[in-house]
Structure 1
Amino acid sequence: MSFKIAIIGAGSVGFTKKLFTDLLCVPEFRDIEVALTDISQHNLDMIKAILEKIVEANGFPVKVTADTDRRRALEGAKYIISCVRVGGLEAYADDIRIPLKYGIDQCVGDTICAGGILYGQRNIPVILDFCKDIREVAAPGAKFLNYANPMAMNTWAAIEYGKVDTVGLCHGVQHGAEQIAEILGAKSLSELDYICSGINHQTWFIDLRLNGRKIGKDELVAAFEAHPVFSQQEKLRIDVLKRFGVYSTESNGHLSEYLPWYRKRPDEIARWIDMSDWIHGETGGYLRHSTETRNWFETEFPQFLASAAKPIDPTKRSNEHASHILEALETGRVYRGHFNVKNNGVISNLPADAIIESPGFVDRFGINMVSGITLPEACAATCMASINVQRMSVHAAVSGDIDLLKLAVLHDPLVGAVATPEEVWQMVDEMVVAQARWLPQYADAVPAAKERLAKSTVKTRDWAGAARRNVRSIEELRAEKSALKKAV
């Protein structure tokens, strides 16, 4: 088969490499064209070199191109994959730093909460530019696969305003299933059957079966509490499981910032998180991890390039959805996964316009969602709080309405549990002013925001958060990796 795939934000080097290698695990896909595009020529040069090394090592006739001209990269593409982070780590640092001045402690800050909402404001205008290009220069009927966060907001904007055939993809469900399979003693993941449904990063395992036997709440709680690692790393998730009766897909750190109960008091945060890795609740954990990963890659690029000169092993294909979806669409081989799409009645007790994440099957007829799912009431209530924030955030991002943006942030569960309305209004002004270069839709609102900040009497504080760690140096990372190898 010969067709073109474009990857926007291909400078996300490690993730692009994984997607590319997965695609080449499909025998029919070894004559495709993969067009890489990014605003960074430096990153494009690095990832192109790595992918060309993979192609050369495996002797496939795959064509790899790289271009900072996005429209040229999208010309004739049948599939477009987005991995963009608008504003990069510089803007992301503000997503974490500024809310901390108002007492809002985030682990990730890329989905909702103050950081995720502002991230969406930066991304959505760019996502709509992508959609315009797709409509104008991509292949007719091209499919847009969005991997970028905030997943629900980006996908919502692309469908409602971009008018492009879009699906949002995330790996949270797969990771949660792997945990459950491990604690239940499954010999392989294939022994576990599950229905997982909700919204991105708040999906719930509402039906679990191990070798056909239904797994209930009590058995699941006991298995998690008996696990020597997860019992410490997932304390918050286990508490939610006990109270809601179902397990959440999302990591301890991610889940903690979508709820109003666990991160609102600094002295309580340590009780619910684990510092063994960033993902379990560390303040600004993903920002630190992303910064270290970027620095490591820049320094160790020759090693990454050398490691690309290896034969592809199809048995090591990842569980990222993209290659499996494209394989199903192109070959008709059926794939079952969990996809972010507009609800339209799939989940009976969530709004029709919401972007849900729920089971579906893919074949040559497209993505077909399993309908008629009803979430437990507590799960639906938690999802609804986020959906209302997402809807206002999307509409604010499209209209440039700073008052609606402030209302969206005010209604965020964690923000509302921590900050007063006056603090929220000032915080949003401060974030919009700090990130103005990435927020063209708010250009007319920035001067007034600056004036309000100059006259403000709302007090802030210089706070690093309840559980912050410094970015490690390359030398520290090398020493840690060396110690791990010796331990193994």
Structure 2
Amino acid sequence: MLKIAMIGAGSIGFTRRLMMDILAVKEFQDTEFHFMDINKENLEMVTNLCQQMIQLNKLPAKIIATTDRKEALKGVDYVFCTVRVGGLEAFKHDIDIPLKYGVNQCVGDTLGPGGVFFALRTIPVLLDLANDMREVCPNALLFNYSNPMAMNTWALRRAGGIRVVGLCHGVQGGHRQIANALGLPKEEVDFVCAGINHQTWYIEVKHKGKDMLPYMLEAFEKHPQLSKTEPCRIDVLKRFGYYSTESNGHLSEYLPWYRKRKNELDRWIYSEDWIGGLTAGYLDQCMKKTDEYRIMYPKWLSGELEYIQLGNRSEEHGSY
């Protein structure tokens, strides 16, 4: 029986997705999950929803919920960390303060001033987490999903004294886009990515052994949808020959000259949402989601609505 701690389990959608991916594997269906969050309301909601899913599917899995981090970590084999230190209130400062000085960010959670702010408040918490792991689960492997990924994982590897892997999902999304642009089944498109989160690139793209990199630019430029939604990514592909794993909005702030001049901003972003590059787009999305979860919770709990079902294992790397 696996024991898995979910630190920051109050991330309702993500925790449910990760747990259901794990329980979709027959050999993992008796896993004992330790849910931990400092937000009691979110912790209660996610625990009730996940307990319901376990019961409906008659699984032997078990959930233990607690607000005590060290208690949640005791004796576990794996730890998933999805914490957002400071919550949305701090996130708003990450966006608003730089914007006051002309630094325009779409997400602001990886580098630049927003990423640095985020790292400065998150790294101490992650090192405390690592300290607890050394005490109560020294052999466990930490899967970190908390941003800024590169800085956080760097700090943990330098000073944490634990085993840690940083995970993100940009690679899967870009893989789907490349297959779509080339007009090929995704399962037939092989790739190799290299870089650091979130500056990762598809350095090899092949179809049945054939190198597809020479065909990528034309495929994206002629695609009726992607040619409009990915202007920044396509421009980088044109200039350097490689496609980015990250969304158009993310990439536009990682290479900040794309967001430097107000009169050019519309040229490089697809501004309908945060994925395209809307200023403060991801903050707005998170705030809407928070309200949505409170509205949807009773409907999910009653069974009136559902959007995640056992057996539909996602491409998220955690369970794999």
TM-score scaled by length of structure 1: 0.64
CA contact (8 A) 2:7 2:81 kept: yes
In the alignment, which residue of structure 2 is the partner of 1:72? 71
Q: Counterparts of 1:213 and 1:303 in 2: how far apart (Å)?
A: 49
Q: Check 1:94–1:311 CA distance in 2 against 1; reply closer, same or farther (3 A cut).
A: closer
Answering whether residue 277 of structure 2 is matched by residue 281 of structure 1, we say yes
In the alignment, which residue of structure 2 is the partner of 1:18? 17
Q: Counterparts of 1:186 and 1:272 in 2: how far apart (Å)?
A: 27
CA contact (8 A) 2:199 2:244 kept: yes
In the alignment, which residue of structure 2 is the partner of 1:150? 148
CA contact (8 A) 1:58 1:312 kept: no
Answering whether residue 141 of structure 2 is matched by residue 103 of structure 1, we say no
Aligned match for 2:194, one of 192, 197, 202? 197
Q: Secondary structure at the match of 2:233?
A: helix
In the alignment, which residue of structure 2 is the partner of 1:5? 4
Give 1:179's aligned amino acid. Q
Instruction: Report how far residue 39 of structure 1 moved.
Output: 0.5
Q: Counterparts of 2:283 and 2:122 in 1: how far apart (Å)?
A: 17
Q: Counterparts of 1:279 and 1:62 in 2: how far apart (Å)?
A: 35
CA contact (8 A) 1:206 1:246 kept: yes
Instruction: Report how far residue 121 of structure 1 moved.
Output: 0.5
In the alignment, which residue of structure 1 is the partner of 2:219? 223
Give 2:128's aligned amino acid. D
Q: Check 1:68–1:59 CA distance in 2 against 1; reply closer, same or farther (3 A cut).
A: same
How many aligned residue pairs are there? 319
Answering whether residue 257 of structure 2 is matched by residue 258 of structure 1, we say no
For residues 173-225 of structure 1, what are the alpha-carbon distances to aligned partners after superposition, in whole Å with 9 as ceiling and x for unaligned?
111011001111112x21010111011111111111012211123x1111111
In the alignment, which residue of structure 2 is the partner of 1:30? 29
In the alignment, which residue of structure 1 is the partner of 2:168? 170
Percent identity reads: 51
Q: Secondary structure at the match of 1:321?
A: coil
Q: Secondary structure at the match of 1:6?
A: strand
Q: Secondary structure at the match of 1:173?
A: helix
CA contact (8 A) 1:53 1:309 kept: no
CA contact (8 A) 2:43 2:65 kept: yes
CA contact (8 A) 2:300 2:306 kept: no
Counterpart mapping for 1:67-466 below 5 A: 67-138=66-137, 140-187=138-185, 189-217=186-214, 219-307=215-303, 312-314=309-311, 316-324=312-320
For residues 27-75 of structure 1, what are the alpha-carbon distances to aligned partners after superposition, in whole Å with 9 as ceiling and x for unaligned?
0111110000000111110000000000000000111011001111111
Instruction: Report how far residue 313 of structure 1 moved.
Output: 4.3
CA contact (8 A) 1:4 1:77 kept: yes
Q: Check 1:311–1:45 CA distance in 2 against 1; reply closer, same or farther (3 A cut).
A: closer
Gapped regions of structure 1 (runs ≥ 5): 325-488
CA contact (8 A) 1:54 1:310 kept: no
CA contact (8 A) 1:191 1:211 kept: yes
In the alignment, which residue of structure 2 is the partner of 1:45? 44
Give 1:204's aligned amino acid. W
Instruction: Report how far residue 312 of structure 1 moved.
Output: 4.4
Q: Secondary structure at the match of 1:105?
A: coil
Q: Which sits farther off after the overlay, 151-160 or 15-24?
A: 151-160
CA contact (8 A) 2:10 2:39 kept: yes
CA contact (8 A) 1:81 1:144 kept: yes
In the alignment, which residue of structure 2 is the partner of 1:438? none
Q: Counterparts of 1:310 and 1:292 in 2: how far apart (Å)?
A: 17
Two-structure CA RMSD over aligned residues (Å):
1.4
Q: Counterparts of 2:24 and 2:282 in 1: how far apart (Å)?
A: 30
Rg: which structure is higher? Answer: 1
Q: Check 1:63–1:310 CA distance in 2 against 1; reply closer, same or farther (3 A cut).
A: farther
In the alignment, which residue of structure 2 is the partner of 1:328? none
In the alignment, which residue of structure 2 is the partner of 1:355? none
Q: Counterparts of 1:312 and 1:259 in 2: how far apart (Å)?
A: 38
CA contact (8 A) 2:272 2:278 kept: no
Q: Counterparts of 2:147 and 2:282 in 1: how far apart (Å)?
A: 13
Q: Counterparts of 1:225 and 1:143 in 2: how far apart (Å)?
A: 42
CA contact (8 A) 1:204 1:248 kept: yes
Q: Secondary structure at the match of 1:148?
A: coil
Q: Counterparts of 1:81 and 1:255 in 2: how far apart (Å)?
A: 26
CA contact (8 A) 1:172 1:250 kept: yes
Q: Secondary structure at the match of 1:193?
A: strand
Q: Check 1:246–1:311 CA distance in 2 against 1; reply closer, same or farther (3 A cut).
A: closer
For residues 104-139 of structure 1, what are the alpha-carbon distances to aligned partners after superposition, in whole Å with 9 as ceiling and x for unaligned?
00000000011011001010000001000000012x
For residues 457-488 of structure 1, what are the alpha-carbon distances to aligned partners after superposition, in whole Å with 9 as ceiling and x for unaligned?
xxxxxxxxxxxxxxxxxxxxxxxxxxxxxxxx
Q: Check 1:246–1:310 CA distance in 2 against 1; reply closer, same or farther (3 A cut).
A: closer
Q: Counterparts of 1:293 and 1:312 in 2: how far apart (Å)?
A: 20
Q: Check 1:86–1:191 CA distance in 2 against 1; reply closer, same or farther (3 A cut).
A: same
Instruction: Report how far residue 263 of structure 1 moved.
Output: 0.7
TM-score scaled by length of structure 2: 0.97
Q: Check 1:311–1:10 CA distance in 2 against 1; reply closer, same or farther (3 A cut).
A: closer
